[in-house]
Amino acid sequence: MPFRLLGLLIVAALVYVGWMERARLAPYWHRLTDRPAATAVGTTGRPGVLALRRATDKVDSLNGWGADSVTLSASEMASLVGAGLDQRVRSELDSLAVTLGEGRIAVAGKIRTAGLPRDVLGPLAGAFNDREPIQGAGPVQVTGPGLAAWRLDAFQVRDFEFPREMVPRIVGLLAGDQRDSVLSIVIPVGIGRVRVHPDGVTLYPSSQLP
């Protein structure tokens, strides 16, 4: 009996530590399960007027000055994302922030949970407030002149991360009548390719792809 009680105490302690340290343990868990995380591990930035101006100036250097490439900071990338997202999606997001990862970005903010499907939330529907912190993550690629696609493969509300197969439906509801997990981002013309790293985003001109 004492050994059984000790075992229960150890399990309870592990559960408690796992919950308290969930943010730090999540990347390792996703690595073990091969499941994309709704977070990124690089620098974080928020959109701003000056950051957007710097970003557009750098893009202009690709076109006008013939630069081989330019690198955006997290704040500059966040400004391009904030300005380029569909206004229907952007208007639902408060406190937008972008975190850079290796080959992907994570966008965080606060959103109205009324737009999320009740049947997807299930028993958690009543546990959410009117506005909750959300985060989505996935790779970004240029799909055409002045247009990029952000393909979400992970999405979470507060601490609840949705199964990957539910992500397209949630993204579709946020973006309107859409059947996949891609959000379009309007970008300045002249960007041919995007490479995301934890410390910056490298843009290449459309006339010179690496």
Could you tell me the pLDDT band of residue 39, with boundaries at 50, 70 and 90? Answer: low
Half-sphere exposure (Cβ direction) of 27: Cα atoms closer than 13 Å: 8
User: Would you say residue 100 lies in a domain?
Assistant: yes
Coil, helix or strand for 106? strand
User: Would you say residue 193 lies in a domain?
Assistant: yes
Regarding beta strands 154-157 and 94-100, do their DSSP bridges make them parallel or antiparallel, or are they unpaired?
unpaired
User: Would you say residue 134 lies in a domain?
Assistant: yes
In whole angstroms, give the CA distance from residue 164 to residue 187: 27
User: Would you say residue 18 lies in a domain?
Assistant: yes
Residues 26 and 51 in one domain: no
In which domain, by residue range, is 53 found? Answer: 44-205
Residues 6 and 107 in one domain: no
Residues 12 and 97 in one domain: no
pLDDT tens for 179-193 read: 667 889 999 998 999
Residues 86 and 26 in one domain: no
**What's the confidence (pLDDT) of residue 5?**
42
User: Would you say residue 210 lies in a domain?
Assistant: no
pLDDT tens for 82-117 read: 999 988 778 778 889 999 999 999 999 987 766 555
Provide the 8-state DSSP code for 163: P
Residues 138 and 114 in one domain: yes
Residues 97 and 193 in one domain: yes
**Cα–Cα distances in Å, from 187 out to 85, 106, 118, 126, 148?**
9, 18, 33, 38, 7
pLDDT tens for 129-175 read: 777 888 999 999 999 999 999 999 888 887 778 778 778 777 776 66
Residues 50 and 70 in one domain: yes
Q: Higher-confidence residue: 58 or 30?
A: 58
Residues 191 and 109 in one domain: yes
Tokens coding 112: 């109205």
Q: Higher-confidence residue: 59 or 173?
A: 59
Q: Is the pLDDT of residue 40 over 50?
A: yes
**What's the confidence (pLDDT) of residue 54?**
96
The domain total for the chain is 2
Tokens coding 60: 């202009």
Distinct helix (H) and strand (E) counts, the chain:
7, 12
User: Would you say residue 38 lies in a domain?
Assistant: no
In whole angstroms, give the CA distance from residue 141 to residue 155: 19
Q: Higher-confidence residue: 148 or 17?
A: 148
Buried b (16+ CB within 10 A) or exposed e, 73-86: bbbbbbbbbbbbbb
In whole angstroms, give the CA distance from residue 123 to residue 127: 8
User: Would you say residue 102 lies in a domain?
Assistant: yes
**What's the confidence (pLDDT) of residue 94?**
84
Q: Is the pLDDT of residue 4 over 70?
A: no
In whole angstroms, give the CA distance from residue 146 to residue 191: 7
Can you state the angle between helices 74-84 and 49-63, rounded to 10 degrees? 90
In whole angstroms, give the CA distance from residue 86 to residue 176: 10
Residues 107 and 196 in one domain: yes
Could you tell me the pLDDT band of residue 125, with boundaries at 50, 70 and 90? Answer: low
Residues 28 and 102 in one domain: no
Residues 169 and 199 in one domain: yes
Residues 15 and 61 in one domain: no
